[in-house]
Amino acid sequence: MTRLCTLARPCAALLLLALPSVASCQAAGGAPASDRTASPRVIRVVSRNYSFAAPAQAEGGRVTVRLVNEGTEPHYLRLMRLAPGKTLADFVAWRGSGTPAPEWMSGAGGPAPVMPGDSTEQTTVLQAGTYVILCSYPTEQGVPHVQMGMFGSMQVTASGEADAALPAADGRLTLADYAYGLEDGLRAGTRTIEVENRGREPHQVLLIRLPPGVAPEAEVAWFRGGSRGPRPGHPHGGILEVLPGETTRFTTTLEPGEYMLLCGIRAPDGRRHFEHGMVKTLTVRG
């Protein structure tokens, strides 16, 4: 049985966590495709207001990180890998310092936000090491959840097994600087989308469902306004960070309707990628 621990710490005085554009130590290597027969191990993380229930320790390699939202607000699961010798205490100290993201912390992706009662997952490669898990989704007042104590740590151990097989993909999404390319349309149901970053910068895949009467411009305006107040769209999963050259996959359950993709990472010029046009609308049919 997987041992679960509730991960929450008081953090009222800490500043908003920016998404650092730093290189990850992930690697896509492993056994030949013919050896990849087993399904990836599942690391199940439950989000609540404002804490996580997650394994204190998990086996690395190719894994599926599943986020289940049992809270009453949208949540996401961001993974940050720490350099050897660094701990959660170092992360807390950095958060209180107000300094730029340190070199000893690197982004490792993670499932993007989902609504209460929903779930999503990312299949990725996790190297052995200490990871901080956190959620910086804002309250309607603009307070990031990490500032309310929604963070913790997880120890990932080395895997001696061959890499597991990737789940079959129902669609393929390519990322460029600054555009999305969806090769095939998506139909309703539980779908796995392969994502490849062909750009030179990290990118996000934020999948958002647009309720009837909500235009994509309203969602963009919510981001530009500091993500305050009621959100027009409904976050529907995706991936928080895909590094240049990385290929990964995420799984989510789609209902028929209108959706959009958006990237909110900052470009070298300080503007966010959606301000450079990295927004795409799509229709999911039944």
Model confidence pLDDT, tens digit, residues 116-135: 999 999 999 999 999 999 99
The overall average pLDDT reported for the chain is: 87
DSSP state for residue 178 in the 8-state scheme: T
CA terminus-to-terminus distance, the chain: 38
pLDDT at 37: 60
pLDDT at 77: 98
- Rg (C-alpha) for the chain, rounded Å, is 18
Tens digit of pLDDT for each residue in 157-202?
A: 987 665 688 889 999 999 999 999 997 789 999 999 999 999 999 9
Give the closest residue to 227 by CA, choosing from 144, 114, 119, 113: 144
Tens digit of pLDDT for each residue in 10-52?
A: 333 333 333 333 333 333 344 444 345 688 999 999 999 999 9
Answer yes or no: are the C-beta atoms of 193 and 249 closer than 8 Å: yes
Please give the structure tokens belonging to residue 248: 């990964």
| CA atoms of 225 and 220, how far apart (whole Å) | 9
pTM over 0.95: no
Answer yes or no: are the C-beta atoms of 22 and 100 closer than 8 Å: no
Q: Which residues pair with 123 in a beta bridge?
A: 64, 249
